[in-house]
Structure 1
């Protein structure tokens, strides 16, 4: 069986678990009891690793797929030889207030009392034969369960394996065949059927209850999206879907937001650049807070910041590297990488990995990203307790002390450490933001001491990190470019109109792109410790949009942004990368930092366009 394109998957979430549904109506990715746990349906990474299809028999290609407006409810419309059918899929949620009553942050070991993947089919013309096939394989496809009937009749079955109990209840009579529960029924126009797969203590009893749960879930998402503030602009649909994707990637018990919902979707099909992204990166924090606050989603921003501060609080200030670059969504620190050699991988892309071997790398950008996030939190109306401020001061001092040492860089290079310019810039950001916060707290002595260090670091970067043509380079002692340098006009080391900043942005746009889309760096010229190739990085292309807008190249920024929007998936979702020659999405999906970069680029571009119109009406 062939794999669908990555961008064609639909993403559903109840803010505690998530799932991906293929265009043919099969659930191909669901991990329980958490999104970073082993899969129950894993066909995304091996066609024999379990799936759950609820769709017309003998019809694979839908006529249309969409999210119901303002929700994460997926509606798929099918045209068969005998009639028309819609299937609506949701991970059930209640009214929006239930996640905003102060009860959402719980111990990561606690699960919600009930989870349900609800699927409702309705025939609205002719007659359609509906097929149900639920084939879970637990522990990434290694453990097979045995279904059994539960209660009178033949419409409820259960299976237990790997300490997880699934209950499948349906209006369709179910048959059992080993690890598979299945059913088939013909629906006439106006008739509906449902299938509800639950784990927990709540079972969907009948069709009326299923329809009620669907309405509640739609109400949740529409209630949540109504709390956000979106620009009245043609970009709004993309910004709104990005906001929903970020919310869907959140983990309500702790406030964490995953980098992506998947593991090991390849940067090159058939290649080895396959990583587990079901964790939270400190690097994403400032960008995440900026995106959430810009949309008025302050509650989500505060929850996420609280998770990050919890992680910082557990770090040992006497050990500089005890602040990790990433954490598990429950705050876990040990993210040891393993390979699942029994899985063939998406389109034969091996190895399939769990955990992430970069979790204990030394990356100097982490201090700057964190301090920038703290300042963003304060601008958004938050506060920082005295004890946390004391720890942050130690981290600023660490950034000063370690800024002269090489590191693995923002892209988590697995080669030899280098003096990466972006890492130096983020060390400067740590000191600069520390100075601002210190002055705001009346700590002028500390701010003055840090200012001297910031000035020395800035001089070093501008002396050793610039080549003969006045362009900032990937690291000291090279002339290679790096897309992380697009952060220069966004982070404030130099003003956007500085000739070196402008030259760097334009050089990247000209020399580090494929068909206008931005590469992280030239793989064939960079010792990153990895084999194979990769696509263009969507976050970097959106960074270029932002950088072009900041340096006054508004027309170029607008054209590039429109081009990126044309590459959006059918459901307006983005993976990590895009193969420029085909438009194919690559890497894990949906990717949080792509969507938050889209939000930031849209706001910067809209502001730049309005400023231009005011100057030149």
Structure 2
């Protein structure tokens, strides 16, 4: 895979123990831009987590991103967004690293980073222990085990937390076997088998490992008061080598036991199972919610302004996630997520945007106002850095189709929906029947004003059609006459106003009236038409749409979502190709019968993953990963395209 402008073996500047601490926030509204070479490429990170939150660990041994205690909590380490101010935890050899590699311990989410120097080889094992499913007594820990493989290794570590996105001061103090950092909202303790010294706001240490020796670090978090010995509340206290090995093996057992429930046995098991493990990492187990990505502010264009917060639950992404979990046989996760969705249906209230919101916080709050973190420079100077997401207040009519389609599949292949859920769905559908023909922002959350989007009409059709199917299959009550009438009206409107007869293609926006040619704007979301059963994949209209998309939006196997020059989206700058659209392209080729082209496109897409099989939201011009990372939407589309291609190949 093409990387960013760095060689993977080159070192970025790092803080040797005792030399410097990250700068404190100064309340700047326009921070000075950092040098690009100070940042690892986005793709040079692995993900670990404990089904409550997650951390990104670079191939250089630095924890660049960690929020606690939840995915959407403020950050403890955020050097991914500001290498000088954001905070980090680094473990690295003192002397020059000549090569480095990173991989997951087989069939788990335990990350292994190996560094090669002229003196030998050292390995860092990073994981967040999970002992059992739905553990009410779960203690949040980040374990870093440093193992010297060969030679004699001089190592250093610096722990530089910067609480609340580097906005809050913290107190640093010694505790037995380690250090503790305390802000008003959070306590973070680090216990180590080697000596740690305080350096102003940070802690650092230097140690030497002979061949076969191990150093151990355990970070624990607590939102409450510290224990009497300085540990986080609920801490297990000292963790020695034997206890660390026990945690390691218990976490291995947890992930392997979970993955063994997968029913996928096709050609691309490694990539599909890595995507499944990633989706599980992005699941908040206590609530059942699946977040879109664990990061915020990673740019869709380096140096640009398209920098959003994705640590929330998009109804759309969630619906597709439910589909992917069901296809792989993870019915327990599907049930937990269905319970979360049921709560949102129960809480639905009519408003300008509709009874459901585009996205919610993990615990179901719909209001996520954006805030600019003016003191952070952003990844490689990509400013502004935003928390929250104003798209939560948009009207996106397509989400009703995606939601009801996923519930239809759960009702058919899962445990089935309850009377209460059906009643809530009927109430939501009543609202949609009155508003399906209004303007909205649609799937891509543009900020150029509301339009009549073909994709939104398509998914409104799906919503009504799936309700009809469920009612007929199970004999559930509903106003079928009205539902069928509206379904058919939507169908005819798409065929009349969403079709450009001169260009022979479905287009992004409907024409103003019947008989008028709509603007010739292509949109990759229309590749889903046969997948949602709106048209046959061999329908001449769909085939010609696929050919138009191939000519104008596809580069190699990569697919742009639309052309912003044709359809301005209200934002400055450009963006890369959308990874999810590339997997939709594979599935569209499968369904039109071009299986060989689909297989080649899928194999090419695998070359755009990073070294761990992870995908960011977008792929840039030279193959670099852009946008928030890793993205659930992309990994579930990979699963779907692989399953359907397997089936087509026999």
Please tell me the TM-score bracket, short chain as reference.
over 0.9
Match of 1:6 in 2: 42
Q: Secondary structure at the match of 1:140?
A: helix
- The more displaced of 373-382 and 253-262 is 373-382
Q: Distance in 2 between matches of 1:331 and 1:372?
A: 21
Q: How many angstroms does 1:410 deviate by?
A: 1.0
Q: Secondary structure at the match of 1:114?
A: coil
Q: Secondary structure at the match of 1:119?
A: strand
2:392 is equivalent to residue 359 of structure 1? yes
Q: Distance in 2 between matches of 1:397 and 1:245?
A: 36
Q: Distance in 2 between matches of 1:385 and 1:395?
A: 15
Q: Distance in 1 between matches of 2:150 and 2:419?
A: 65
2:551 is equivalent to residue 510 of structure 1? yes
Q: Residue by residue, what CA displacement relative to the aligned partner does 1:303-362 show, whole Å, maximum 9, x if unpaired?
A: 112111111110125877131011111111111111101000001001101000100101
- The more displaced of 422-431 and 80-89 is 80-89
**Which has more helix, going by share of residues?**
1
Q: Distance in 2 between matches of 1:204 and 1:220?
A: 23
Query: Do the aligned residues in 2 keep the contact of 1:438 with 1:446 (CA within 8 Å)?
Result: no
2:91 is equivalent to residue 51 of structure 1? no
Query: Do the aligned residues in 1 keep the contact of 2:275 with 2:614 (CA within 8 Å)?
Result: yes
Match of 1:315 in 2: 348
Q: 1:148 aligns with which of 173, 195, 205?
A: 173
Q: How many angstroms does 1:144 deviate by?
A: 3.2
TM-score, normalization by structure 2: 0.89
Q: Secondary structure at the match of 2:180?
A: strand
Q: How many angstroms does 1:221 deviate by?
A: 0.9
Q: How many angstroms does 1:145 deviate by?
A: 2.0
How many pairs were matched up? 593
Q: Distance in 1 between matches of 2:478 and 2:149?
A: 73
1:78-477 equivalences in 2 (<5 Å): 78-94=115-131, 98-100=132-134, 113-151=138-176, 155-200=177-222, 201-202=234-235, 203-233=237-267, 235-316=268-349, 321-443=354-476, 446-468=479-501, 469-476=503-510, 477=518
Q: Secondary structure at the match of 2:63?
A: strand
TM-score, normalization by structure 1: 0.94
Q: Please, which runs of 5 or more residues in structure 1 have no aligned partner?
A: 105-111, 611-617
Query: Do the aligned residues in 2 keep the contact of 1:372 with 1:430 (CA within 8 Å)?
Result: yes
Match of 1:109 in 2: none
Q: Residue by residue, what CA displacement relative to the aligned partner does 1:110-139 show, whole Å, maximum 9, x if unpaired?
A: xx6521110111112110012121110101
Q: Residue by residue, what CA displacement relative to the aligned partner does 1:530-564 show, whole Å, maximum 9, x if unpaired?
A: 11100000000100101110111111111111110
Q: Secondary structure at the match of 1:544?
A: helix
Q: 1:371 to 1:120 in 2, by over 3 A?
A: same
Q: Residue by residue, what CA displacement relative to the aligned partner does 1:12-55 show, whole Å, maximum 9, x if unpaired?
A: 01100100011110101001121111100000000021000122
Q: What do you get for the CA RMSD once the two structures are aligned?
A: 1.5
Q: Distance in 1 between matches of 2:356 and 2:93?
A: 51
Q: Please, which runs of 5 or more residues in structure 2 have no aligned partner?
A: 1-12, 14-37, 223-233, 511-517
Q: Distance in 2 between matches of 1:89 and 1:498?
A: 51
Query: Do the aligned residues in 1 keep the contact of 2:60 with 2:100 (CA within 8 Å)?
Result: no
Q: 1:15 to 1:193 in 2, by over 3 A?
A: same
2:113 is equivalent to residue 76 of structure 1? yes
2:535 is equivalent to residue 494 of structure 1? yes
1:600-611 equivalences in 2 (<5 Å): 600-610=640-650
Match of 1:615 in 2: none
Q: Secondary structure at the match of 1:489?
A: coil
